[in-house]
Structure 1
Amino acid sequence: MKKRIAIVLPTLSQTIDQQIIRGVQTSLDPKLFSCLFIPIGYLAEPELFKSKDLWLLEQLPKLNIDGVLLYGGGVGYKTSSDVMQQVLKVIGNLPLINVGGILDNVPSVFVDNYSGMQQLAKHILDIGCKDILYIDGPKNNFDSQQRYRALADTLQQQGLNLPPQQHLYGDMTTASAKHLCRQWLEQYQRLPDAIMCVNDLSAKGVIEELERQKIAIPQQVKVTGFDDFEYADAIRPSLSTAIYPAQRTGSLAAQLLIDLLNGVELEAQYQLETMSILRASSGVSVYDVPLHNNDERQRLLIQQRDSNAQRLAVTRLFHQRHDLHHILAQAQPTLTELGIPELYIYQDSFNAQGQSQTCLSQQLPSTQSQPNKCAQVLPAHFDQDISDKVHQGLWVMTELKTEQQHFGYLLALSESAHAEFIEFITPQIADIIDHQRLLEETKQYQAQVELSEKMAALGSLVSGVAHEINTPLGNSLLAASHLKEQVEWLTQQMHQQKLTKARFEQFIKDATNTTDIIINSAQRAAELITSFKQVAVDQSYEEQREINLADYINKVLRSLQHQLKTSKVTLHTELDPEIRIFTFPGAIAQVITNLFTNALIHGLDGGKRVGRIDIKLQRLAQEIQLSFSDDGHGASQETVNHIFEPFYTTARTSGGCGLGMHIVYNIITQKLRWQLNINTQPERGFCFTISIPLSDLC
């Protein structure tokens, strides 16, 4: 049975990481070992480090990993030994080989940085350079410490030292070194004899800055680096550096891991030598020639151009932020051309018992339906031999996360040349997942608020019912009480034999009037209850039926008019009583309620401002027009431009949620399929005009 090996690196995009990968591939027989390459990034400085940065490593037990090869010198190049101890704690008891630097109680393969830097320093001193500016890496970095010690020892042997102001600490990047070089030259207004750098990336930044300032290399200043990355011999002038045997390091580490898995007892440390390679940047007379002839260079340029075009096409698809399943299906042909034929997305979810688990949610090649959300953590064929169609294929695992949220991981099979593109698209996919999550949460929140608005409208309706029905019920109660008193009086007169014909006739007259009042009041209450009941039912159930639009609007307004009794606002209606339509009455009730509330609260200061609300319904030649206007505050064009956007409100401080007009717009344009126009100016009120097609007429 094949062994599963996890190769943990900071990234797949840097030369040293790629060379370590090549070394691993040459030493691990694919028929015996399944390799999973896991870039976890560069761990942060101790004060910024968070335990969640190690989430991918925490998944190793679930992946049934048999052994780990850790490029600790890269992952922890700027962090502390305490953080690296946390890394080891997460990896646990799995067989482990470390690359770069030294970790306690872990077999480590590292490079003798001292000898390579010593040779470079002797060369610089031998050609007469005494005034040296040194651009270093992070203080805690193992490689940086060794390389600086070699430089300091060599200077001391010549009776020299490096002044503190000429020992600059950077982060081993081109941008950092360029900035440090510019800053130093501006401050001291002179050139040193030589600028020695901790690595080639830093030297590249120095060369770019010196070229920008038109300072000749090596005539005016010598420059050296360290690592001998691929561009060291390609830049002009070619860079003097030291060869860092990264590929041999990866190969040796893989061989040691095999021994460890086989029970072989290993030594604590394994060291590989470095050696300097002198080129034109330090004044060595070499003839710089192109690495490739014109035909080869042209072929590489065309290949790079095609690859960039394909990557750009995939990136554009991701930027559309459509449904992830749809995007991946569209991207599949281009990803396959790029040498990424398989891609799997495992997202965090919860099972029926409420326990967290990571399940397959998307995959390429895509299937007709969404993949089963099973708890499988790797594809079933992960341990099978990689197809010949993928040249030197890598299985790459990256974490799906944003600044604030973690979603799971992505697993992809990729050609070595395009493996770093997996790292590039992973945050974009995570961003799409996050966008879809936020969109779904927004929809749920919006639905909750819309339901709250509907319940508020129903509450207003109930309040209106209570207020409007109070008068006829009160009259009925008063009349019934009066009638009871009259009956009791009549009974008393009859028992006392004082009842006269005139008194009895007066009783009959009063009783008739009283019963008329009771009957009329009861009928009025019944009418109100019937109309309010119908509006309430309409707002609770979204069913279509035929209505008299004017009559229905009046029914809704009856539930709202009580809000005007203590206000300075009057309501005027002009409604064509002949218009009958087949529609959603509840939706119309919601629109009328929201427009009325918006006019009263926002336009007319909750009724404190003197004003009027006008509602007009008329049939025109081409359409039915319902207008709803007020003479309140109105609004600027800026407000009109955003008025229908969800959660946009000008009354946030007074409790506005910004969904009222959004709901109105959606109901009118989406549910009813009508049109809505606005006419407003500051302090000239609002006029909402709703256009109803004649096809809705019954």
Structure 2
Amino acid sequence: MSGKKVTLRDIAEHLGVNTSTVSRALNPKTSKMLTAEQVRRVQQAADELGYVQNTMAYALRKGRSMTIGVIIPDLMNPVFPPILKGIINYLNREGYTSIIAYCENDIELALTEIKRMRGRQVDGFILAGAFRDDASVDYCVENKIPAITVGRSIDKDLVDKIVIDNESGMQQIIEHLLELGHKEIALIAATQNISDGYERYQAYRHLLQEQGIEVKEDLIVFAQAFKHAAGQEATRELLARKVPFTAVIAANDLVALGCIEELENHGLNCPADVSVIGFNNMPYLDQFRVPLTTIEIPRLKMGEKAARLILERLNKPNMPLQHIVLEPKLLERRSTAPCKG
């Protein structure tokens, strides 16, 4: 078949089957109508003959590009690859392609990437890097571009969102530390223009108050980013205040690891002197010298639900806004221990 564009009819004649059978076998949404052996034979023949689907023609027939834009805030943060995996796996099964971009936690860069992808006629967006007040979300809404947020959310009720129950996660953390006898509990909070940072900070305050524990402002430090270095810097600031504490709740796992390192730089041992808890359960935490107690979030599930939801929004543009909340779970490891006091 060299020199000639291979068609579905060519594959059908090669196998001695109907063109409709070949079409169904090569479409992830209809391949289940055939036996596994039929699908295998068609796919093998397509590969041998050099068949390449004309996605542009298919898109014109469907009125869609069959692509979804995905914006993540940080390529180096281990939280996001499992979310991306869930998104990509689900979209692939549905015959969609994902285009990935990252915005370095920069609102303007996110908006620029969205406009670039829109120029490539993507059908919708999954936004994992949204801020509470976000121009890129506003742009999608104003231009009637289907979009959802995942992980983070905006304050205004404008788009579908999939989030973690941050209050539940913080409640599990506080209860765990209280059971260990800790009452002087510090918080390294995230920046407050991100929903996760804001919700965890607010939950920390009112959960301590509910337990009758004074919220000491000197035990609250705001990290400048969800990064290891930011955890170190915040811990240095906390120690410089010379206010006693026996436990630290960190904005995320990277911040927690930076906190532990800085505590050790000051001669403090985790968990003998200070217990530390993270948030997210990034990979390999159980392999560290001090395995980190943390809050696990269902990242793969979150990605799959995000992909499913954006396609549902494409197919049902007038459906009510969806607000999906996933439950986190405390994973107790060796970075927390009973309070010596």
Return the TM-score normalized by structure 2: 0.73
Q: Of the candidates 69, 72, 83, which is equivalent to residue 126 of structure 2?
A: 69
The separation in 1 between residues aligned to 2:244 and 2:214, in whole angstroms, is 18
Amino acid at match of 1:256: L
For residues 208-255 of structure 1, the C-alpha deviation after alignment (integer angstroms, 9 at most, x for no partner) is 111222311111111111111113222221111101222211110101
In the alignment, does 2:337 pair up with 1:283?
yes
Q: 1:594-609 maps to which residues of 2 (within 5 A)?
A: none
Q: Which SS does the other structure have where 1:69 is aligned?
A: strand
Alignment partner of 1:159 out of 180, 194, 212: 212
Question: Which runs of structure 2 are paired with 1:310-459 in the superposition (5 Å)?
Answer: none
Per the alignment, residue 92 of structure 2 pairs with 29
RMSD of aligned Cα (Å): 2.2
Contact 2:130 2:137 in 1 (8 A): no
CA distance in 2, matches of 1:227, 1:68: 23
Aligned ranges 1:168-567 → 2 under 5 Å: 168-170=221-223, 171-188=225-242, 191-263=244-316, 265-283=319-337
For the residue of structure 2 that corresponds to 1:29, the secondary structure is: helix
Q: Could you say what secondary structure the match of 1:276 adopts?
A: strand
Distance 1:259 1:85, change over 3 A: closer
Does 2:79 align with 1:16? yes
Matched residue, 1:555:
none
For residues 61 and 53 of structure 1, the distance between their equivalents in structure 2, rounded to whole angstroms, comes to 12
Cα gap change, 1:63/1:30 in structure 2, threshold over 3 Å: closer, same or farther? farther
Q: Does 1:88 align with 2:140?
A: yes
Q: Which residue matches 2:153? A: 102
Secondary structure at the aligned position of 1:220 is classed as coil
Secondary structure, aligned partner of 1:6:
strand
Deviation at 1:110, TM superposition (A): 0.8
Using the alignment, how far apart are the partners of 2:87 and 2:140 within structure 1?
A: 21
- Partner Cα distance (1:125, 1:23) in 2: 35
How many residue pairs are counted as aligned between the two chains?
271
**Aligned mates of 1:237, 1:249 — CA distance in 2:** 28
| Contact 1:70 1:97 (C-alpha < 8 Å) held by counterparts | yes
Deviation, structure 1 residue 162: 1.8
The answer (yes or no) to whether the contact 1:105–1:268 under 8 Å persists in 2 is no
Unaligned runs of 5+ in 2: 1-57, 60-65
Structure-2 change in CA distance of 1:20 and 1:266 (3 Å) = farther
Deviation per CA, 1:249-270, whole angstroms, max 9, x where unpaired? 1110101112122226243311
Which amino acid letter does the alignment assign opposite residue 217 of structure 1?
Answer: C
Distance 1:31 1:89, change over 3 A: closer
Alpha-carbon distance between aligned partners in 2 of 1:214 and 1:18, rounded to the nearest angstrom: 35
SS of 2:285's partner is coil
Provide the residue aligned with 2:40 in structure 1: none
Cα 1:31–1:100 change in 2 (3 A) is: closer
Matched to 2:96, the amino acid is F
CA distance in 1, matches of 2:73, 2:134: 18
| Distance verdict in 2 for CA 1:105–1:54, change over 3 Å | closer
- Name the residue aligned to 2:179: 126
Q: Go from structure 1 to structure 2 and tell me whether the alpha carbon gap of 1:61 and 1:84 turns closer, same or farther (over 3 Å shift).
A: closer
Verify: 1:56 aligned to 2:113, yes or no: yes
d(CA) in 1 for partners of 2:145, 2:170: 35
Following the alignment from structure 2 to structure 1, what is the Cα–Cα distance between the partners of residues 250 and 86?
26
Structure 2 Cα separation of the partners of residues 248 and 102 of structure 1: 17
Matched position secondary structure for 2:145: coil
Question: Which structure has the larger Rg over C-alpha atoms?
Answer: 1
Of all paired residues, the percent bearing the same amino acid is: 28
